[in-house]
C-alpha cells in the first residue's frame, strides 16, 4: 500500500481531476468517477515510471483492487442504467468490451513476478488501456450519459455506486 504522502498525492490528483471534470459539466456519479480516475492514475504513473520490484509490490495490489472494484461497480450500477436507455445502450456495450479487455490485461500482470522485465511491459499495457478508457469516458461517455439521464439521476446513482464498489472490494 502507498505510504501516507503518496496517498495524499493520489487524493490531491483525484481532487484536481474532479475539479476539471466539474468545470466540464460532470456531476454526481460521473464527477466521482472522474475523481477516482485521477487518484488511481497518480498511483499508476508512479509505478509505470519505476522498474523497482519493491515499488511494484508496494503499489500494485492497491491499484489492482481499485481498478477492479471501480470497473465492477461501474458495470453493476452506472452501465446497467445506461444499457436500459436507447440513447446510451451503445456506451454500455462498448464499456463492457473495454472492461473485459482491462481485466484480461490485469490477469496478465498478475501472472508475472514483480522483478520480471515482462511485468513492466504488461503493466504498461494496463496503464495504456486505463488512460484511453479514462479519456473516452470523461470526454465522451460521461457527458453523453449525463445529458441522456439528467443530473438528478447522475446524483442519485452515486450512493449506489459507492455501495457496489465497497462490496466489490
Q: What was the pLDDT predicted at 83?
A: 96
Residue 146 near residue 138 (C-beta atoms within 8 A): no
In this model, does residue 9 exceed pLDDT 90? no
Pick from 95, 99, 30: nearest CA to 68:
99
Q: Encode pLDDT of 75-116 as tens digits.
A: 999 999 999 999 999 999 999 999 999 999 999 999 999 999
Listed residue (50, 74, 48) closest to 63, CA to CA: 48
* Over residues 123-134, mean pLDDT: 96
pLDDT band at 169 (very low <50, low <70, confident <90, very high): confident
Residue 59 has pLDDT above 80, yes or no: yes
Contact in structure between 149 and 89 (CB atoms under 8 Å):
no
- Confidence bin at 10 (pLDDT 50/70/90): low
Cell numbers 504498461 correspond to 124
First to last CA, the chain: 15
Tell me the pLDDT tens digit for each residue of 12-21.
555 555 556 5
Amino acid at each position: 500500500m502507498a505510504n501516507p504522502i503518496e496517498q495524499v498525492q493520489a487524493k490531491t490528483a483525484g481532487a484536481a481531476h474532479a475539479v476539471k471534470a466539474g468545470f466540464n459539466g460532470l456531476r454526481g456519479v460521473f464527477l466521482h468517477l472522474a475523481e477516482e480516475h485521477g487518484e488511481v492514475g497518480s498511483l499508476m504513473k508512479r509505478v509505470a515510471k519505476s522498474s523497482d520490484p519493491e515499488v511494484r509490490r508496494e503499489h500494485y495490489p492497491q491499484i489492482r483492487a481499485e481498478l477492479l472494484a471501480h470497473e465492477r461497480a461501474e458495470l453493476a450500477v452506472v452501465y446497467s442504467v445506461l444499457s436500459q436507455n436507447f440513447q446510451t445502450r451503445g456506451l454500455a456495450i462498448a464499456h463492457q468490451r473495454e472492461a473485459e479487455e482491462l481485466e484480461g490485461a490485469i490477469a496478465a500482470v498478475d501472472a508475472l513476478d514483480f522483478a520480471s522485465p515482462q511485468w513492466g511491459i504488461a503493466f504498461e499495457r494496463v496503464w495504456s488501456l486505463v488512460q484511453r478508457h479514462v479519456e473516452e469516458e470523461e470526454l465522451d461517455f460521461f457527458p453523453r450519459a449525463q445529458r441522456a439521464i439528467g443530473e438528478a439521476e447522475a446524483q442519485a446513482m452515486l450512493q449506489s455506486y459507492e455501495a457496489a464498489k465497497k462490496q466489490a472490494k
